[in-house]
């Protein structure tokens, strides 16, 4: 019996000795500047040419909560298509974004909206707490910056932490030291927190990292959504007709650009 116990403990020690201990990268404020971090994130965003994904969305707000599935297609800077379905495969809506044109098919209302980005300003996508103009940045983890003035740059909880502003707009940004990408970013206007985004579960795919969990939260209205990537392909080609939207013959078609001329 003693011999068996000894063998057991020796086996445990052997297994532990063979285990690979992952070293955590330490944030070193002397080895990187805030400009390096911002430029690295710009380069990272530019490296993602195409994206194809299936996601699971959880929405939580005082007036509405639910779970949805969404398919995402992105090609370069011009084309993004998001298709959202609800329980039992119910078709809820599609939105197509290009450089100068938006198409929004609300399948619940059976209405098809067209127009420019300006025409959709201030309008939300279905029940989500994001404006249609914010969809691209939220769903594909992008944060675009103009020239930023640094107010504070330090290490917090072993992450690089940056406070920067551009006029009335200000940002609080956390960068993970292992891949130098944003893990949390807060958007503020005149000192008021408008919303924040969190990027988690980074995985390396096609020689680049991408977060498989995105949170978008509006604290003042207690609204938020979480996006989980069930499958993801980066920088792989796909058929261009995948962006085609088939609209029901009975759908009401509304051109917002014509309405805004009145």
Quote the pTM value: 0.82
Q: Is residue 150 part of a domain?
A: yes
pLDDT at 122: 66
Residue 23 has pLDDT above 80, yes or no: no
CATH number at residue 72: 2.50.20.10
- 76 shares its domain with 102: yes
159-194: pLDDT as tens digits: 999 999 998 999 999 999 999 999 999 999 999 999
247: number of CA atoms within 13 Å, CB side? 19
Is position 3 within any domain?
no
Tokens of 47: 């490296």
155 plus 112 within the same structural domain: no
Q: Is 72 a domain residue?
A: yes
pLDDT value at 218 more than 50: yes
Question: Which residues does 166 contact at the CB level (< 8 Å), separation at least 6?
Answer: 145, 146, 147, 148, 149
One domain, residues 111 and 163: no
Asked, for residue 216, whether it belongs to a domain, the answer is no
The per-residue pLDDT for range 246-262, each reduced to its tens digit, is: 888 888 888 877 665 55
Structural domain contains residue 226: no
Same domain, 119 and 182: no
For residue 11, the model assigns a pLDDT of 47
The residue segments making up the domain with residue 91 are: 49-139
């Amino acid at each position: 019996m003693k011999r068996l116990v000894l063998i057991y403990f020796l086996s445990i020690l052997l297994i532990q000795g063979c285990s690979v201990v992952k070293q955590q990268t330490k944030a070193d404020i002397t080895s990187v500047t805030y400009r390096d971090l911002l430029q690295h994130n710009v380069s990272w965003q530019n490296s993602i040419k195409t994206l194809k994904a299936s996601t699971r969305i959880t929405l939580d707000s005082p007036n509405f909560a639910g779970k949805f599935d969404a398919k995402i297609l992105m090609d370069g800077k011009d084309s993004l298509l998001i298709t959202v379905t609800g329980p039992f495969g119910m078709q809820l809506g599609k939105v197509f974004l290009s450089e100068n044109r938006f198409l929004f098919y609300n399948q619940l209302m059976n209405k098809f909206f067209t127009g420019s980005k300006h025409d959709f300003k201030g309008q939300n996508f279905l029940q989500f707490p994001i404006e249609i103009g914010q969809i691209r940045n939220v769903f594909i983890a992008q944060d675009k910056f103009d020239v930023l003035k640094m107010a504070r740059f330090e290490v917090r909880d072993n992450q690089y932490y940056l406070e920067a502003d551009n006029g009335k707009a200000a940002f609080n940004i956390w960068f993970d030291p292992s891949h130098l990408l944003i893990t949390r970013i807060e958007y503020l206007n005149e000192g008021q927190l408008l919303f924040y985004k969190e990027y988690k579960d980074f995985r390396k795919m096609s020689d680049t990292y991408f977060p498989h969990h995105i949170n978008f939260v509006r604290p003042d209205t207690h609204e938020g959504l979480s996006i989980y990537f069930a499958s993801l392909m980066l920088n792989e080609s796909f058929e261009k007709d995948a962006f085609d939207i088939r609209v029901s013959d009975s759908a009401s078609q509304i051109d917002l650009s014509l309405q805004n001329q009145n």
